Homo-oligomer: A and B are copies of this chain.
Amino acid sequence: MKLLVTVMPKNGVLDPQGKAIAQALGTLGFGGVNDVRAGKVIELDVAETDPAKARAAAEEMARKLLANTVIESFRVETA
């Protein structure tokens, strides 16, 4: 089954990529953009078919590898 792990910088953590995107959008003429945060999304295709077990495994993967939990938060969804 497929899972989506979304990793975002925590609130209050500096996000230079988001700031760069916001500035570039302004340069391209897109107005009314208050804030931009840039994160990453990891799509996992796992052999496990039980949604609860797959989700637990994905959360463990996120804590151990996919997210730096000091500065990033993550959420897991089944896709």
A43: min CB distance to chain B, Å = 4
Number of interface residues of A (CB under 8 A): 32
Number of copies: 2
- Contact partners of A64 in chain B: CB under 8 A: 28
- Which one of B6, B31, B57 lies within 8 Å of A41 (CB-CB)? B6
- Contact partners of A57 in chain B: CB under 8 A: 30, 32
A3-47: CB near B (< 8 Å → 1, else 0) gives 000101000000000100100110010111111111111111111
- Asked, given contacts A28-B64, A65-B21, whether A45 binds B40 with beta carbons under 8 Å apart, the answer is no
Chain A residues at the B interface, C-beta cutoff of 8 Å: 6, 8, 18, 21, 24-25, 28, 30-48, 57, 60-61, 64-66
